[in-house]
Structure 1
Amino acid sequence: MREPATAETGVGARRVAYRGGVFLPETRRAAGATALLALIALWQLASSLGWMSPVFAPSPAEVGEALWRMGVSGELVGHLKASLARLLVGFAIGGTAGVAFGLAVGLSSLVRAPGVTLVSALFPIPKIALLPLFILWFGIGEGSKVATIAFGTFFPTVIATYGAVDNVDRSLVRMGRSFGLSQAAIVWKIIFPGALPGILSGLRIASSIGIVLLVAAEMIGASQGVGALVLSAGNLMQSDRLLAGVVVLSLVGLTLSAFLGLAEKRLLAWR
């Protein structure tokens, strides 16, 4: 923390407390880990005391044991590989197309009017409702699942991208023009870096939506994948395996968010 600043007065000097750190949030990972561990401990205590039924809410120890069994047998690896392949391909397609289209909407007046109208009309549609249509178009295999994820991640990325482009300080653009920068240089050196924080935030949201759509798609038409594992465990009333699948999905989301956080640190190191 900074030392208190000194402010001059008419007679002498007096010390004034530094107040500039109020809106500078700090990341305290230890506090977050402590809260999570406390929740797990409370859950385990409630299960041990019989306050929670093992059928409806198995203890963390039982969930961990189920995870261990599936990991040792290789079943979990097979489900996880299938889910990660679908998620990464669909997210890459939807995210890349979303950033490109969002930049076009944000930069071009010709694209903006039809583009915003199209996004506004299609974004509210529940993407999982289109899965039967995607199955007709791409078949029951991987194509329909990847298309569902790509379609679902495309729209939030578009909205975040063109909104971030709109929020770039236009005085910087005018300054670039006054220095004789070309239009491409202004886009690459001013607009894109200025919009990058908003784009990365949109990708974080899109990744979470992608995981939700992944599970829904795998529940409808897949024999492999974490979503299929969760559905099968639920049908057989295997609550420990069901929650083990949910834990895996949570870890996948945390891992993807961590990768996006590392990319954000590297790409926004100039700030």
Structure 2
Amino acid sequence: MLWEMLVRLKLLDARFFPPPSGIVGTFVDLLVSGELLQALLISLSRIFIGFVVGAVPGLLIGLTMGLFPLVRAALEPMVAALYPIPKIALLPLIMILFGIGEWSKYITIAIGVFFLVLINTVAGVVNIDRIYLDVARNFGASRKDFYTTIALPGALPLIFTGIKLGMGMALLLIVAAEMIGAKSGIGYMIWTGYDTFYLEKMYVGLVIMSFLGYVFTLVLDELERWIIPWKHS
């Protein structure tokens, strides 16, 4: 690799850019010791729990805002005011309210995911052709039918966009949250690698997060093709 060669030729400072061979060696050591797997499982559990806690209400409220203009008019100003706030900036407040335990990480991730799923869900419902809503209304569709047979299927493409963006946001926030308020996880591994100048360990954590992002993208793309086949036809 070019990186390895540049380090060997001393054109890159190995103190800041350790050779890939050293990073791979550290990866193997962390894997064999179990430290990497433990950190990965902890981070994954935080990501998935936080994602569900944020995505489910984001989806339900988004469908409601999309279907009912009065609800949308009432909540849109609040969403517009709160969404631009950097989510990690809320972590100190979240830690005051929920402590330094697991829930502070869950809520940090959930807030970031919530807004992305909410905004995309609202956009998806609003963009549904009004004729479908009129036909359903003329045939006496119940409120549940509006949610399950019109709003949800019609908004699915944009809902999945929100889910993908939300998962990316979850990866960003879990690293930041674990750096600031945790003693475990991949983010904590990255921070301790930096703090102790064990940069091979830091790079292992960065590569793992990059790999997770790639895997999540592949899984969500495949899930989207399965659930929304007409989008790709």
What residue ranges of structure 2 are gaps of 5+ in the alignment?
none
1:128 aligns with 2:88: yes
1:92-148 superposed Cα distances (whole Å, 9 cap, x missing partner)? 110111111111111112211121111111111111121111112111111111111
Aligned ranges for residues 9-158 of structure 1 at < 5 Å?
41-158=1-118
Give the structure with the higher percent helix.
2
Give, in angstroms, the shift of residue 49 of structure 1: 2.9
Q: Which amino acid aligns with 1:182?
A: A
Partners of 2:149 and 2:226 in 1: CA distance: 16
Partners of 2:46 and 2:102 in 1: CA distance: 7
Give, in angstroms, the shift of residue 176 of structure 1: 4.1
Q: 1:42 to 1:167 in 2, by over 3 A?
A: farther
Q: Which has the larger radius of gyration?
A: 1
Partners of 2:55 and 2:22 in 1: CA distance: 37
**Which SS does the other structure have where 1:212 is aligned?**
helix
1:174 aligned partner: 134
Partners of 1:94 and 1:115 in 2: CA distance: 17
Task: Report the TM-score, using the length of structure 1 for normalisation.
Answer: 0.80
1:256 aligned partner: 216
Give, in angstroms, the shift of residue 245 of structure 1: 0.3
8 Å contact from structure 2 (residues 59, 117) kept in 1: yes
1:189 aligned partner: 149
1:205 aligned partner: 165
Give, in angstroms, the shift of residue 46 of structure 1: 2.5
1:193-250 superposed Cα distances (whole Å, 9 cap, x missing partner)? 1210100011111111111111111111111111111111101111111111000111
Give, in angstroms, the shift of residue 186 of structure 1: 4.1
**Which SS does the other structure have where 2:23 is aligned?**
helix
Q: Which amino acid aligns with 1:68?
A: V
What residue ranges of structure 1 are gaps of 5+ in the alignment?
1-40
Partners of 1:118 and 1:167 in 2: CA distance: 21
Q: Which has the higher contact order (CA 8 A, sep 6+)?
A: 2
Q: Which amino acid aligns with 1:113?
A: A
Give, in angstroms, the shift of residue 191 of structure 1: 2.7
Task: Report the TM-score, using the length of structure 2 for normalisation.
Answer: 0.92
Q: Which amino acid aligns with 1:93?
A: V
Q: What count of residue pairs does the alignment treat as equivalent? A: 230
